Amino acid sequence: MLTKISKGSDGNRDAKFNIDLQHTAQACPEAKTIKLADIIDNSRNIAELDPKFAATYLIEKQRQLSVLWQGDGSLYLMAEACILKGLADADIG
């Protein structure tokens, strides 16, 4: 349910992200909970480790939250906080 389904021929990064986002929106709440935990793990220090990529990644993750609200509520809030902190640390948000 969380595997990216977009292909290289589907367009640029944003086009592929939108395809995968729609796929993630259809996932069950349990899969969305796993995705939230993944976002937390990957967002905690991305601004420090890779500030250039952090801008792209964190904005995508912020967009992704819009389809993950059915996952665990406390993890949703933690993911949101990690994203916002990363954006602030990278001076993006």
- State pLDDT tens for residues 28-45: 999 999 999 999 999 998
pLDDT band at 48 (very low <50, low <70, confident <90, very high): confident
Q: Token digits for 44?
A: 């905690």
Distance CA 29, CA 32 (A): 5
Q: What secondary structure letter does DSSP report for 14?
A: H
pTM for this prediction: 0.89
Cβ 41 vs Cβ 85: under 8 Å? no
